[in-house]
Homo-oligomer: A and B are copies of this chain.
Amino acid sequence: MSSKIQDEKAREQLIDLAAEFYDQFAGGKIPEMKLPTRTKSNIVFDEDSNVWVYGDRTSTRSANSVRGARKLLKAVYTIDFLAKQLDEGRSSTLRELYYLSESWDNEEAQFSDQDESNQLVEDLEIVSEVTREDFHMRPEESGATLMGPLELREQTRRGEREIHCQKDVGEGGYQIPNNPDTIDFLDHDIDFVLCVETGGMRDRLVENGFDEEYNVLVVHLKGQPARATRRITKRLHDELDLPVVVFTDGDPWSYRIFGSVAYGSIKSAHLSEYLATPEAQYVGIRPQDIVDYDLPTDPLADSDINALESELTDPRFQSDFWTEQIELQLDIGKKAEQQALASRGLDFVTDTYLPERLTDMGVL
Which residues of chain A have a CB within 8 Å of any CB of chain B?
A: 90-93, 95-96, 99-100, 102-103, 138-143, 145, 154, 156-158, 161, 163, 166-178, 182, 198-200, 203-204, 207, 209, 212, 222, 296, 337, 339-346
Contacts and interface: CB of A to CB of B under 8 A. Distances in A.
Which of A177, A182, A346 has most chain B Cβ within 10 Å?
A346
Nearest to A153: B170
22 contacts: A90-B207, A91-B203, A92-B342, A95-B200, A95-B337, A95-B342, A96-B204, A96-B342, A100-B343, A100-B345, A103-B345, A138-B203, A140-B198, A141-B199, A154-B171, A156-B170, A156-B171, A161-B170, A163-B169, A170-B175, A170-B177, A175-B175
A96 B156 CA distance: 38
A342 B102 CA distance: 9
Nearest to A174: B170
Given A138-B200, A158-B166, A296 B99 contact: yes
What 3 A-B pairs have minimum CB-CB distances, sorted nearest first? A172-B175, A102-B343, A93-B200
Given A99-B339, A168-B168, 6 more contacts: A91-B207, A99-B342, A100-B345, A139-B199, A157-B171, A174-B175
Contact of A154 (B158, B163, B170): B170
A172 B176 contact: yes
A346 B138 contact: no
Contacts of A177: 170-172
Contacts of A346: 90, 92, 96, 100
Contacts of A296: 99, 102
Contacts of A90: 207, 346
A137 to B, nearest CB: 11
Nearest to A344: B103
Given A92-B342, A96-B204, A103-B344, A140 B171 contact: no
A339 B158 contact: no
